[in-house]
Chains A and B, each alone.
Chain A
Amino acid sequence: MDTVFTYLYQVGFAVSILVLISLGLALIFGMMKVINLAQGEFLMLGAYFCVLTSSMGAPLWIAIPVAGVLVGLFGVVVERTVIQWLYGRVLDTLLATWGVSLLMIGIVTTVAGPQSHSISSSVGRVVVGGFVVPGWSMVIIAGAVLMLLATYLILRFTNLGLIVRGTMQNPQMARALGTNTSMIYMLTFGFGSALTGLGGALLVPLFGASPTMGGLYIGKAFIAVISGGPLPLIGTMSASGLYGSIDGVMSYLFSPVLGEIIVLLVAIVMLRLLPSGITGGMRKGI
């Protein structure tokens, strides 16, 4: 029984981390077909804002949402200055956001220096399946679930959510019906960035904040989003579920390296079988 719990924990933790780093990107990709290669750096920015707010005296449970909001605002700025000129040019947005990521790394390193920063969480330890695990990992898992839930509720049950989904499915029709799609794109990019910033902030107590941390996550986030396909919520859940499970199990059985390599190989097979992603063929759903 203990072993079952251990595997459940390893998988749950790995899946949650994937959700944190890729949900925001999936939303932006699902809506605007924009692949934001600065995703890792948005995570990094969220982590830094969290450290900053925390160092000014705020407790973690305030610093984290604040970080999310700040990154959301930053995302809006990026969308208005760079992204909005490049809609429809998928590959060009890829490259422009790459430039944004380099810019962000450069600025953060110049302002805050190249060293990393830590915040200790006071959440303590938890015992799962006979092993001690960080209490904060439970917070991460809870955070991922909350993010998914919040996104679902907003998209499914609010007016704004309805308009967003409509624009995602058929932007021309939405425009014909009077929606200001440019505003919707801006809001979506902002919301997706906020989710990403939130994710980055949640990672800090266990992983710290450093200018180059984005590079550690961009590959996984990218692959998860592409594998997930155009529907953001279902796509993220299925892709994160798949890769997180493989990573969690393989890392525990063998080693972290093997876990990552096997995930990449499975991704290749997945893309071969389902070239448009897991939700590529789905018409309905979020």
Chain B
Amino acid sequence: MLWFLFRDFRRPSGERPTVVWWLFVVAVAGVLLVWLPGTLGLAEMLDLSVVFVLALLALSMSFLWGYSGMLSFGQTAYFGLGGYVYAVSAMNLGTTTVPFLLGVLLPMAFALVVGYFIVYGRLSDVYFSVMTLVITLVLNKAVRATSGSQYVVGDVRLGGQNGIPGVPPLQVPWDPATALFIDDVYYLSVILVLVAYVGLRLALASRFGRVLVGVRENEKRLALLGYDPRRYKLGAFVIAGGLAGLSGTMFAVWGNFVAPEMFGLQRAAEVIIWVIVGGKATLIGPIVGVGLIQYLTTWLGTQGVGQVTLVLGIVLIAAVLLFREGLVPTLGTLLLRLTRLRRGDDPNKRDEP
């Protein structure tokens, strides 16, 4: 039965999720929310939470790329925007529930504008990707130039290069006196990733999702069938923007700071590396990618190795040359082949019903 699961990992599917899949999700949720916290200390929870927070960012990119066929280099634009919106509004208003929502909605609005500009402008392929990169670079430069004391929004200094420290932790919406501590942030980030994962999976199985995959496969054919591909692409762009904004808001909640490096080239590169290493056309893949790379960089930083950049470069080259589809799909294919061989199937026969 498990090979249904591996097949799911390997190929993007517009099919409805199976019972096995649901069991898998519940099992993972159980492990992450119930069993693991018992064995982890606060410091480990902190390290793990940021993986889940960044996983949302990775999901936003892989959703766009793997399922909608749009390679956006600039999801970091909405990531940074979400973080800054949360920081500025929370420090001005004193409460955090509204700022949290703003941190998701405003990036979505921005994605709507940018998406309209790009999608309806019929930019294709490389030029589309470059445009998204240029936008995040403009934001990076603009925010880095706000060091002077005249750059305030309300009471909050934008702080330029240094960003905004002291961002308040998230208050419990029905009990503003209590704020989320490190372990609460862990639970919240795990729940958000699970919700996002399930939500995206269901969305892909819906009519919207299947049209989207159709747009990726052959836009012209879909247009001929009567659908307006631009509307669906724009919709995907806005959803991805919201996800990235959520990631940015959670990042601000997690670390209690925001900085222009959220918009920067380094972070944009990392997102792409996560997705490519994990697998761009799956939902699990990028999450795995984030985990691997974050663990690698954090671990390397304590080894006195001194050349984290070198290692990352090798990883990226290897990932592109060797794992064409990404780690998870390649593993999935491998496992699939193994199970089929064990069952005595002809490895050349396709696995379609």
Contacts and interface: CB of A to CB of B under 8 A. Distances in A.
- A–B touch (CB < 8 A): the answer is yes
Interface of A: 35, 82, 85-86, 90-92, 95-96, 98-107, 109-110, 215, 218-219, 222-223, 226, 257, 260-261, 264-265, 267-268, 271-272, 275-276
29 contacts: A82-B321, A85-B321, A90-B125, A90-B126, A92-B324, A99-B313, A99-B314, A99-B317, A100-B313, A102-B313, A103-B313, A106-B308, A106-B311, A106-B313, A107-B310, A223-B130, A226-B126, A257-B141, A257-B145, A261-B141, A261-B145, A264-B134, A264-B137, A267-B134, A271-B123, A272-B121, A272-B123, A275-B124, A276-B127
B46 interface: no
Given A99-B314, A268-B135, A261 B121 contact: no
A93 to B, nearest CB: 8
Task: Give me the 7 closest cross-chain CB pairs, A-B, nearest first.
Answer: A106-B310, A102-B313, A99-B316, A103-B313, A99-B317, A106-B309, A96-B320
Nearest to A274: B127
Nearest to A264: B138
A215 B265 contact: yes
B276 interface: yes
B234 to A, nearest CB: 16
A105 B126 contact: no
B316 A102 contact: yes
Nearest to A272: B121
B142 interface: yes
Given A95-B272, A223-B134, A268-B131, A100 B123 contact: no
A86 B321 CA distance: 8
A222 to B, nearest CB: 7
A212 B306 CA distance: 15
Q: DSSP class of A's interface residues: helix, strand, loop or mixed? A: helix
B193 interface: no
Given A106-B311, A226-B130, A268-B135, A98 B269 contact: yes
Nearest to A29: B126
A257 B324 CA distance: 40
Contacts of B16: none
A35 B314 contact: no
Contacts of A101: 313
B315 interface: yes
B158 to A, nearest CB: 14
A104 B317 CA distance: 12
A110 B313 contact: no
Given A90-B126, A260-B141, A275-B123, A102 B312 contact: yes
A133 B138 CA distance: 30
B320 A92 contact: yes
A7 B124 CA distance: 37
A92 B306 CA distance: 28
B231 interface: no
Interface string B185-208: 000000000000000000000000
Nearest to A91: B71
Contacts of B321: 82, 85-86, 96
Contact of A103 (B129, B135, B265, B310): B310
A219 B276 CA distance: 22
Contacts of B311: 106
A102 B310 contact: yes
B26 to A, nearest CB: 35
Nearest to A255: B145
Given A105-B309, A261-B141, A99 B122 contact: no
B316 A98 contact: yes
Nearest to A35: B126
